[in-house]
Chain A
Amino acid sequence: MDYEENLEAPVWDELNHEEDSAQNAIPNQSESVGKSPALREGETKLPKDSASFDNGTDVHIAPKWKDPGLSIADNLLVEEQEDNDNSKANALIDSLAPEKDPIAALKNDATQFLVMKDSSDALFAGNANSPLVFDDAIINGDTSTSANSKNISGRRSGKPRILFDSTKSQRNSRRIHSLKTTKTITSDNASKSPFIDPLKKAEKENEFVEEPLDDENENEKKGTNEGNTAASTKKSILEQVDKPLYNLPQRTENTASPAKAEGDSKKVRNTKAEPNVSFAKQDFNVEVKDPVKVGELTSAHVEYTVISESPLLDLKYSQVSRRYRDFRWLYRQLQNNHWGKVIPPPPEKQSVGSFKQDFIENRRFQMDAMLTKICQDSILQKDKDFLLFLTSDKFSSDSKSRAYATGSGAINDSNDLSEIRISEIKLLGAEDAADVLKNGGIDAESHKGFMSISFTSLPKYNETDEFFIEKKRKLDELEDSLKKLGKSLEMVDTSRNILAASTDEFSGMIETLASLSVSEPNSELLNNFANAHRSIKSYLERSSLQETLTMGVMLDDYIRSLASVKAIFNQRAKLGYLLVIIENDMKKKHSQLEKMGQNSHSEKFKETKKEFLTFERRYNLTKTKWQEVGERIKDEFQNFSIDKIREFRNGMEISLEAAIESQKECIELWETFYQTSL
């Protein structure tokens, strides 16, 4: 139990985060009572913020919550933690939260916490600020504890970043459990918020139990091992720095529109209102399961059930049946809709052998991972096509029409994930694009030529920014080494399995020797020996499986993600190329215009001028887009690298730990054999 880390108490000002107070609500360490003033400050925010806050009600609820273990002082520690990270965000809250009588604040604190715990958001639904966040915090605490501290509530964005301590969570769980029962009741009572339907809240609360697991699952899938609860992204100073900034817009949003949902961090619970908060990440769970073979002979394929739950969906819940082709469509659409963003990759295409059980399972797993990552991303989760994918009943027609509408080339795409298609429709707008397409595409000119030999040299796109060249090169190198690594891992796996098989044979032969019954002790010894070897065989198989599931899966994921990253680089390259072409055309038109300069009223002139303007417009559009994409890529790349490295390191650690454990098992086996039989 390490409380020390929580004791770096910042100055009490900083404690006045709603978030912090919310976190504080999570009963944790029992420490410094001396911090109470600070606490009070923090707590005061709560009541002030909520317009409809009724102390009275809170007070009644408070007693329910009086959990022996809880001490107000506990919250301090939580606060402190929060404070460390969210100093900037606090400033905002400070301004919003009026001062109040400290004691009342304290009292309220208790009740607040209680309320938050019990009745979730009802009371504070109207509150733009901390209450909601508190809820998150509490819920975070709840869920994390109920998840038995195996998750790090992956504070991604702006979530109070408690270095999640299992000890804390264990203590929490005690309290939370007792509180949970009261929750639904109080939520009914606490229908303070005109915005939120308490029943819905109850629903949401019921989801509590699931979510941590899902979160866990999501994390897992994001990470490496399916069976492993270790989730992926951890904090880094980088993220922590990011968070406060991130929180600000959320808060603004929240303050601005009380009706809007909170939205914050990964573990946003009790989502409310519309999903129009652009930065806010909504609660989202997606699962892919139940592969079923559908159709026969030539049209046989496997369909998977995709179940999703989220307030972003109209019905909050959706269950559809999708096949691999659809996932691929989704990937291409997303790539098209969000240039420069790294889209989580789908599994590879496979023309033969796609009906083997292992293959199907593998694929299902990868697709589940893909969807989970998408729905975790605050931008992608709101994508129209994504939502369409999750909900549409007549998907085949919908998908086709979307594909045509956006010109994404999502139908029948190439197997290489990094090959991209720049949609003219997206780039230039529908009408212009239609024109362009009539002419055969933006680069139509360059393709003209006698028998496709062009006489004019094609304009070449030279990447100006060093960044891209450098990174692209590194990407390629990395991809090569990873692929190599993946292959050797596979080889190790195969050879280990072969070893297991021959060990089995060996074991059988020992038993034959034992059956000769030369003597009683001899036979017994030999039989034990044979059994030891059998166990070794299964140990080998298991360890091989474990390696594949951890490192193997992670490497595979990494490699496919790299392809996605290459795709965005390609997008930029392609845009640049088109830009150059358009620039070229534009210049040509311009010079044409110049030549006709004098004749400003002729039809020809007007036409040329019109054309020039079109080109100019195209040029500008393309240029902006190109630059945008460039910027985007830089950001994305940064995040991607950090994420991936973290995942990789985690994979290594998990793999290593598993290897150590299985090694211990092996030793134990032999020791036991030695002691019993020799």
Chain B
Amino acid sequence: MASAVPYDPYDDLDNNPFAEPQEDHQPIAATADGSSSMKEEQASAEEATVSDQATSVVNSAQEELGGEENSTLSKPVTKRDGDNPILAQPLQRDILPERNDEKKKYTMLVKVSGLERFGSTTGKKGNPTIVFDCSTNLPTFRKKQYKNVKKSYEEFHQLFKYLNAAIQESFVPTLPPAYTSFGIDSEEDKTKVSRNFQLWFNRVSQDPLILRNEEVAFFIESDFGTYTPINKYKSLASGLRRKTLKQLAPPYDETTELAEFRPLVKSIYVVSQNLQEKLLKVSRNRKIMVQEENAFGQDFGNLDEHNKLYKRYGKILTAVGDIDSIIATMDMATLYDGLEWVVRDSYVVKEALTNRHFIMRNLNQAQQNSKAKQEQARRFRSRRDINPMKIDEALRQLKTATKDEQVLTLKLQRITSNMLIERKQWLAWYEEWIRNSIKEFTLRKIEYERKKLTLLERVRSDIRKADENGGLSRLGRQAVSANSTDTSQTVKGDSWTGESNRKSQIPINKIAHTEFDNELFTEDDGCASQDSDTTSLNARHAASLLGMSTK
């Protein structure tokens, strides 16, 4: 009996067991166009119902697959036939064609050139504008080069939200914070935020799935302040539904790596937040201590109005306190802000993994559904009473169910394999980032502690001069140099350690001159002048030498 099912042109692949894989040798550009057109299709399909979407998704995926397959076919066939015994690679190539991009090398190079802040106070802080240049060979873009593109933080945020929801296979890197603990007026803040955004762009450019998304192109091409995502995305689950679903036990995950990954990420998320808290507390306490130190220094100076020594000492103590407060800010700016990015990112990763669970759950349901429909269909077979309508209905449902299942299966495969790759990348990034943050933290700390030391040593000679025979003279103070500019941190290395790292004069100068010198030493000229770096040849120096010799 002829089936009453209407002709479904997209059904060819299903029905025809003899169908050859479509060998469309389309040009590369066409493929690219194809994918973008597919995206459009996808976009339009999103208006439709879930099943339609599933269908269209599966179709577009299949087409994409087909397209990509063709493109891969353009490569030497030997590769396709797979000399490597590992099944994963060909599978990956099939499943994640975007990653299979050796020849095409779609890249996007972004260079952040600056940061601007303007507008209202909140706007200034929370919505800076990033200026950057971009060059790319992606087909989604209209041009190859874009110069001085300005985008506000809000627009970035829109893009991020879209990408995060649309590309379920990837861990989309979160945006760095819009301001740092340096304070938005400082130079360091500007450099830091710019640098962070550069890093963000770098990470994004590493991810081929994100690159191929046309929204990225729209984002960069749109005018300043006008960007909103053109496509709409559908989130898997949100709000209360999401929360309830999360309560349930996660579905069985045969990829152990990913199964373990989620709890790890969650712990990272939680612990980093705690760490931030503790750090904040430390900084706050330090600031309180600074206030007390300042008060102490002040009172000390007030002890005796005419006593220069006391005043000096008091000022030094106050200055030391101020340096401590700088240290506190630096702590925050380096480690706290660093942890902030970790916190954000780990949250996103965690949620992406949760989404994967949802898909797995959905897949299970779909599988069950299709099983049920199969069962149903089978039952009809054994029935005597054949109602063509019912059969048709059953068959249709079966088809839908199977299609759903296939879509989901494919999707899950894509997600899983992509995440496996991205997981490694993310862990590497995490390590590197933590390492850098700690490094910055330590460097700054060392710098400022050294400054403190310089300050203290400066006043040392004054105190000693006050009473030549007193204090530590018993300890053979006469042996110590009477040179008031002697410091323990010199070009030859620190005087108190056994190691001697010969440092150049410049960092020594940097340490030797604190921000407080002017206040402290206006009364007298104890300040050493800025020495030129005599260990390295500098042009001026050389020129003057030459000049002299020719006289």
Contacts and interface: CB of A to CB of B under 8 A. Distances in A.
Contact of B472 (A163, A498, A657): A657
A549 interface: no
A506 B446 CA distance: 19
Given A512-B274, A516-B267, A522-B434, A660 B456 contact: yes
Contact of A496 (B289, B474, B475): B289
Contacts of B288: 495, 498-499
Interface stretch (B47-55, B132-140, B231-239, B275-283): B275-283
A481 B307 CA distance: 14
A503 interface: yes
B442 A506 contact: no
Contacts of A653: 463-464, 470-472
B289 A488 contact: no
**Among A502, A503, A674, residue most surrounded by chain B Cβ atoms (within 10 Å):** A502
Contact of B439 (A526, A646, A663, A678): A678
Contact of A671 (B313, B446, B479): B446
Contact of A509 (B271, B431, B470): B271
Nearest to A235: B469
B286 interface: yes
B222 interface: no
Contacts of B474: 149-152, 164, 166, 229-231
Interface in B275-316: 275, 278-279, 281-282, 285-286, 288-289, 291-293, 295-296, 299-300, 302-303, 309, 313
A659 B460 CA distance: 11
A674 B443 contact: yes
A667 B460 contact: no
Nearest to B435: A525
Contacts of A503: 282
A494 B435 CA distance: 33
**Among B293, B299, B434, B471, residue most surrounded by chain A Cβ atoms (within 10 Å):** B471
Contacts of A163: 469, 473
B453 A485 contact: no
B438 to A, nearest CB: 6
A649 interface: yes
A674 B275 contact: no
Nearest to A151: B474
Contact of B456 (A149, A151, A656): A656
A245 to B, nearest CB: 20
B471 A674 contact: no
**Among A488, A489, A491, residue most surrounded by chain B Cβ atoms (within 10 Å):** A488
B268 interface: yes
B456 A663 contact: yes
A495 B289 contact: yes
A654 B471 CA distance: 7
B292 A495 contact: yes
A650 B453 contact: no
A573 B430 CA distance: 77
Contacts of B285: 495, 498-499, 502
B271 A650 contact: no
A499 B488 contact: no
Contacts of B279: 506
A52 interface: no
A522 B439 contact: no
B282 A525 contact: no
A670 B439 CA distance: 11
Interface in B410-457: 427, 430-431, 434-435, 438-439, 442-443, 445-446, 449-450, 452-453, 456-457
A529 interface: yes
Contact of A664 (B296, B453, B478): B453
Given A166-B476, A488-B292, A506-B278, A656 B459 contact: yes
A151 B443 CA distance: 41
Is chain A's binding surface mostly helix, strand, loop or mixed? helix
Contacts of B313: 652, 656
B272 interface: yes
A149 B478 CA distance: 13
A518 interface: yes
Nearest to A540: B289
A649 B278 contact: no
Interface in A628-656: 646, 649-650, 652-654, 656
Interface in B330-365: none
B496 interface: yes
Contacts of B291: 495
B463 A649 contact: yes
Given A164-B474, A482-B303, A488-B296, A516 B453 contact: no
B496 A506 contact: no
B264 interface: yes
A492 B443 contact: no
B496 A668 contact: yes
Nearest to B324: A499
B466 interface: yes
Contacts of B292: 488, 491-492, 494-495
A177 interface: no
A491 B295 contact: yes
Interface string A474-509: 000010011011001101101110110011011001
A505 B281 contact: yes
A518 B296 contact: no
A522 B471 contact: no
B289 A509 contact: no
A485 B438 contact: no
B519 interface: no
**Among A149, A494, A663, residue most surrounded by chain B Cβ atoms (within 10 Å):** A663
A165 interface: yes
B299 A230 contact: no
Given A150-B474, A516-B271, A656-B313, 9 more contacts: A495-B289, A499-B282, A499-B286, A499-B289, A646-B470, A659-B456, A664-B453, A667-B450, A670-B446
10 contacts: A163-B473, A485-B299, A492-B295, A498-B285, A498-B289, A505-B281, A518-B427, A521-B431, A663-B456, A671-B446
Instruction: State the 5 A-B residue pairs at the shortest beta-carbon distance, nearest first.
Output: A166-B476, A234-B470, A495-B289, A653-B471, A506-B278
